[in-house]
């Protein structure tokens, strides 16, 4: 049975809440690429209503989530809405009994996210989180480096997302407060922390520095994570860095692995880019060789997995992202805020886990 069909060959009917950058530029292409059409879409913004009617002519456009949940026969609802709305909206979808994808982060805090996970389990509603960056070639290459022991014993890792955006965009992510769910710690940080946990295991403690220069919430983030495996990872995200560092740099007992680009000693960029099908470079002093060869990026794989899960015997177990992973990521973010405020190392306490 194809993942986009239910018994009787009825296509899965997807309802999308939100048609901003996330909904329009990330979720819709991934849904379409997975063969999952959008049956209904909720947005109240007149410009986005016009875009949706032009770009998705077969979708019913409604003004809000309540109207979306009144559409007959939806098999899945996707929340591509501002983070501060996720908890209340997720609760409404779960109580309506419809399977749910929530854009990352799942909520504003770990405790809020755990309540969503518990409610979904209580009602037996399948739930997952849109961690689309898990399907990037960079993560596949990093896993190949780790699993192939290409660096010997991994000791330290750096994962970063730098931008030069001294004049912020006028969007909710830049104009709302951290308490409302805005800022880079929950935005780019959710991807980077998730990646670090996948590669090195759960985080036991953090030290963080969070700065606000141009936005209402933080726009320059540094989080040092000590993993249960013994690896220390540095997660960095900035929208005010005029000289972006390498996307990833992992060091071990027999060398280093670098993705992206780094600023060298003579103030010129040294490129570490994808060499054909290879991603990154294995570096040992002045020697380097192409990194692992991985397949092409395909973020539609997330929604293909969701479609397959919804037609399986155990939809929750088959979901591509365990929502409990998102709770831990938010527990790391919560600890990072406490660390910055107290200027100290903070233990990560994840709700729902035994102390």
**Token pair of 89 as six digits:** 């909206």
Q: How far apart are the C-alpha atoms of 245 and 197, rounded to whole Å?
A: 21
Taking the mean position of all CA atoms in its chain, how far away is CA 51? Answer: 25
Q: Which residues pair with 211 in a beta bridge?
A: 220
> Quick one: pLDDT at residue 86?
98
- Please, are residues 215 and 168 in contact by the beta-carbon 8 Å criterion? yes
Distances in Å between the Cα of 187 and the Cα atoms of 5, 107, 110, 270 are 32, 11, 15, 28
- pLDDT of amino acid 37: 86
- Cα–Cα distance between 339 and 164 in angstroms, integer? 26
Check residue 263 and give its pLDDT.
41
46 alpha-carbon distance from chain centroid: 28
pLDDT, tens digit, 9 for 90 and up, residues 199-237 = 999 999 999 999 999 999 899 999 999 999 999 999 999
Task: Round to whole Å and give the CA distance between 272 and 43.
Answer: 41
Q: Report the pLDDT value the prediction gives residue 243, as an integer from 0 to 100.
A: 87
The C-alpha atoms of residue 18 and residue 312 are separated, in whole angstroms, by 27
Q: What is the DSSP letter of 84?
A: G
Alpha carbon of 185 to those of 145, 156, 228, 263, 287: distances in Å?
27, 21, 21, 24, 35
* Phi then psi dihedrals of residue 296, to 5 deg: -70, 155
Residues of the chain with pLDDT under 50: 1-3, 7-9, 262-276
For the chain, list the domains and their CATH numbers. Answer: 5-133+299-318 (3.40.50.720), 137-290 (3.30.360.10)
**Per-residue model confidence (pLDDT) at position 10:** 60
- Cα–Cα dist 256/180, whole Å: 39
Note whether 187 and 163 are within 8 A (CB): no
Question: What does the pLDDT read at residue 131?
Answer: 96
Strand partners, 262: 270
Determine the 3-state secondary structure of 224 from DSSP.
Answer: strand
């Amino acid at each position: 049975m194809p993942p986009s069909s239910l018994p009787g060959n009825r296509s899965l009917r997807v309802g999308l809440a939100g048609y901003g950058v996330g909904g329009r530029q990330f979720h819709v292409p991934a849904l379409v690429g997975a063969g999952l059409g959008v049956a209904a879409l909720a947005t109240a913004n007149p410009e986005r209503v016009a875009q949706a009617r032009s770009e998705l002519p077969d979708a019913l456009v409604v003004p809000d989530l309540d109207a979306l949940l009144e559409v007959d026969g939806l098999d899945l609802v996707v929340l591509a809405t501002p983070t501060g709305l996720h908890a209340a909206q997720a609760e409404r979808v779960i109580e309506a009994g419809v399977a749910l994808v929530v854009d990352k982060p799942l909520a504003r805090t770990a405790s809020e996210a755990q309540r969503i996970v518990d409610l979904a389990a209580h009602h037996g509603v399948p739930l997952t989180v849109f961690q689309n960056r898990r399907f990037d070639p960079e993560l596949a290459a990093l896993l190949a480096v780790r699993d192939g022991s290409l660096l010997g014993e991994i000791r330290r890792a750096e994962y970063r997302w730098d931008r030069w955006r001294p004049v912020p965009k006028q969007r909710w992510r830049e104009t709302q407060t951290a308490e409302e769910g805005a800022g880079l710690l929950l935005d780019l940080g959710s991807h980077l922390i998730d990646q670090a946990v996948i590669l090195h295991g759960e985080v036991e403690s953090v030290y963080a520095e969070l700065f606000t220069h141009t936005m209402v919430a933080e726009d320059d983030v540094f989080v040092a994570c000590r993993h249960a495996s013994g690896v220390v990872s540095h997660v960095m995200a900035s929208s005010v860095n005029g000289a972006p560092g390498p996307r990833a740099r992992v060091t071990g007992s027999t060398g280093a692995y670098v993705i992206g680009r780094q600023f060298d000693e003579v103030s010129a960029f040294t490129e570490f880019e994808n060499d054909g099908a290879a991603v990154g470079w294995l570096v040992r002093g002045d020697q380097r060789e192409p990194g692992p060869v991985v397949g092409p990026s395909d973020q539609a794989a997330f929604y293909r997995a969701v479609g397959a899960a919804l037609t399986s015997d155990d939809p929750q177990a088959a979901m591509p992202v365990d929502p409990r992973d998102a709770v831990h990521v938010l527990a790391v973010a919560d600890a990072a805020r406490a660390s910055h405020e107290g200027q100290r190392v903070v233990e990560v306490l994840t709700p729902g886990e035994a102390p």
